[in-house]
Amino acid sequence: MSDEAKRLEEAREQFVAQWGALGTQWGINRTMAQIHALLMTTAQPLGTDDVMEKLQISRGNAHTNLKELVAWGLVRVVVKKGERREFFEAEKDVWQIFTTVARERKRREIDPALGVLHQCAEDSRDMQTPEGKQFHEQMRQLEEFVGFASKVADRVAGMKHGFAIQLAAKMLG
């Protein structure tokens, strides 16, 4: 292995480990994030066996997390002519990755939370005790805020990358 290949492999391993840790902050399990990082930094699509070998994980773990990454839209299945097994490649566009993660987190976390807040506000709407009124008002305010934040996130995720960066620069400048 050449010096450059060795340095590249070390850098990739460091990135994969860090991306795995970061993924847990995004609501993705560590192994899922590590597989995504590996695929994102590999020039050619990899098969399940390649992922298992590089990350030292079981077939079941690799298979489950690859399928979940496909379901999220962060990884695509690639068919190679003459091959029976599946290969996988990651979305590499950073803006697309961000919008995909934001959309999935909203669908899996924010939308259900909004439903609970709405139901709690409705269930407490006609309460007359001070505690009941306070609870209702808190639920109503939380629902309003989370709903607003959700709409802002939808708008940002729907923007083109360049426009979003320009808008952010104006807001921060």
What band does 8 get if pLDDT is binned at 50, 70 and 90? very high
List CB contacts of 73: < 8 A, sequence separation 6 or more: 91, 100, 104
Taking residues 22-36, report their average pLDDT.
Answer: 88
What is the 3 state secondary structure string of 79-100?
CCCCCCCCEEEECCCHHHHHHH
Confidence (pLDDT) at 27 = 72
CA distance 41 to 32: 14
3 state DSSP class of 123:
helix
pLDDT at 172 over 80: no
pLDDT at 99 over 80: yes
CA distance 123 to 129: 14
Total-model pTM: 0.75
**Tens digits of per-residue pLDDT, 61-75?**
999 999 999 999 999
What band does 41 get if pLDDT is binned at 50, 70 and 90? very high
Count CB-CB contacts under 10 A for residue 154. 14
Taking residues 16-30, report their average pLDDT.
Answer: 87
CA distance 37 to 33: 6
